[in-house]
Structure 1
Amino acid sequence: MSFITNIRHFFEKHGFEVLQRLSDRLGMRPTNVRLFFIYISFVTVGLWFGVYLTLAFLLRLKDMVYTKRSSVFDL
C-alpha cells in the first residue's frame, strides 16, 4: 500500500472511533451523530456566508447614500 493510503486508513479508523465513543455515551446510533456533525458544518459555513453578504450589502448602501456631491447640479 502507498503512504497516502496508510494515512487515510489511520485517520478513518481513529476519526470514526471518536464518534463511536460519543454515540455510545449519548445512547444514539453512530450514523446519526455523524450526520449531525456534517449538517452542523454546512449550517455554520452558510451562516457566515450570509453575514458576509449582509455586510457587503450594507457597505454598498452606505457608499450610495454618502456619495459626496460637488455641486447642486449633480443631483
Structure 2
Amino acid sequence: MKIQHQLLYSLQKRGFEVCRRIAERLGIRTKIVRTSFIYLTFVTLGFGFALYLFLAFWLKIKDLVYTKRTSVFDL
C-alpha cells in the first residue's frame, strides 16, 4: 500500500506539471485541464495522451532553452 501512495505522489508531483502550466497560461483551473485531457484521450483513442506527451516534451525543451536569470550579471 505504501508503494502505491509513493507512486501516486510522484505522478501527481511530476506528471501533472504540464496541466498546471497550461492552466496557469490560460487562466483556468487545473482540474478542468486534467479532465479535458482524460476525455480527449477516451474520445480520440489515445490522441489526448500523445498530445500530453508532446506538450510535456515541448515544455521541457523550453525550460532548458529559456532560463530565468535573476540579474544581469548571471551569465
- Which protein, 1 or 2, shows the higher relative CO under an 8 Å CA cutoff with sep ≥ 6? 2
* TM-score (structure 2 length as normaliser): 0.48
* TM-score (structure 1 length as normaliser): 0.48
**The structure with more radius of gyration:** 1
Larger helix share, 1 or 2 = 1
